[in-house]
Structure 1
Amino acid sequence: MNCNIINFAIIFLSFIKLISAQESKPDLSIFENLINKEWKANGTWGDGTMFKQETIFKFELNQTIVIAKSKGFTDKKQTKYGLRNHGIRKFDQETNTIKFWEFDIFGGVTEGTVIPDGKNILYQYHYGNSLVTDMWEYVDNNTYNFKVGNYLNGKWEQIYLETQFKAERSNSND
């Protein structure tokens, strides 16, 4: 009889642990300052082409993912501007990391890892044979320095783009 009570207690506690694990939200708090603001940046790539982007971040699916919708140039000649990227950021329990996927209008997808560094947000991904990093370096609640390049062992080896994202409150209900 005591064995049945012990087994029941073990099963019950395991069930409670499983339920609470499913209800706990992954830690996507690094994105909280970005949420529901329209982030705008203008700059010039190292090859002289223009960089112009507007991005809105939102929590979705009970705050288990972050959706990023970006406007940018939608043609190679940089004459058309509109919705360019749709991104997803999600905590992966298996690897204990935040992963991201960025789908673009040209049919491409960029996959990588998000690395929180204090209030800074680093996106690392492979582009060809290079490991590329996009860094959102926190300045204040409405400003981030933005760099794209090769960032290894805590230092920039090469920078392809350096600009700044400034925020405005978003009126979008998308």
Structure 2
Amino acid sequence: MKIKNVVLLVLMIPMFVIGQDSKLSMFDNFIGKTWKADGNWGDGSKFKQEITFKYALDHRIIITNAKGFINKEQTELGLRNHGVRRYDKTSNNIKFWEFDVFGGLTEGIVFAEGRNIVYQYSYGDSFVTDMWEYVDDSTYNFKIGNYKNGVWKQVYLSTQFKAIE
């Protein structure tokens, strides 16, 4: 009887591990690559970012590090953001926290729409959406704006991220 229990337990372990990993699997294509984008905000100011994604804590969280402009004048590039993505069992959502060099914290939820990755969060009085729209395994269209019911009401930034590694 004990051997049957041990065998059953050994067979079940991979299912538990796969079940835990699958909540963050939408990020698999981002892992181990550096993603780079250049563009302009709607007001004409420059947008430049390089971001890396990696798993941590036995695939229970995703860590991101982003380089971008680190001064208001947008003349200096450096480590700008440090982010965490984690599945929350209580709310059944993937939550994110993004800490920036200016002392800010942005937090919200992340979900998939097909192969697209959607971030939603409050920013001041606005509810904002960032979308990584899948083009191919090394390219995503990237938008930030007001997105409701599958329609962009207003777009603040539209550019493209490409994998460079």
Give the TM-score normalised by structure 1: 0.84
Q: Shift of residue 168 of structure 1?
A: 2.0
Partner of 1:98: 94
Matched residues, percent identical?
59
Is 1:67 aligned to residue 63 of structure 2?
Answer: yes
**What are the within-5 Å matches in structure 2 for residues 147-158 of structure 1?**
147-158=143-154
Moved over 2 A (4+): 19-24
Alpha-carbon distance in structure 2 between the residues aligned to 1:25 and 1:58: 16
Alignment equivalent of 1:25, drawn from 5, 20, 23 = 20
Over residues 115-139 of structure 1, what are the superposed CA-to-partner deviations in whole Å (9 max), with x where a residue is unaligned?
1111100000001111100000000
**Structure 1: which amino acid aligns with 2:111?**
I
What is the one-letter code of the residue matched to 1:77?
A: E
Aligned partner of 2:105 in structure 1 is 109
Unaligned 5+ segments in structure 1 are 1-15, 170-174
Structure 2 residue ranges without an equivalent (≥5): 1-8
Aligned mate of 2:123, from 124, 127, 131 = 127
Deviation at 1:75, TM superposition (A): 0.2
Match of 1:140 among 130, 136, 149: 136
CA displacement 1:30-63 (0-9 Å, x = unmatched): 0000001000000000011000000000001000
Give the RMSD, CA atoms, in angstroms: 1.7
Distance 1:145 1:79 in 2: 25
Structure 1 partner of 2:4? none
| 1:41-52 alignment runs, 5 A limit | 41-52=37-48
Structure 1 residue identity aligned to 2:123: Y
For normalisation by structure 2, the TM-score amounts to 0.88
- The number of residues matched between the two structures is 153
Secondary structure of the residue aligned to 2:26 is helix
Q: Report the CA distance between 1:108 and its aligned residue.
A: 0.4
Does residue 88 (structure 1) correspond to residue 81 (structure 2)? The answer is no
AA partner of residue 52 (structure 2): I
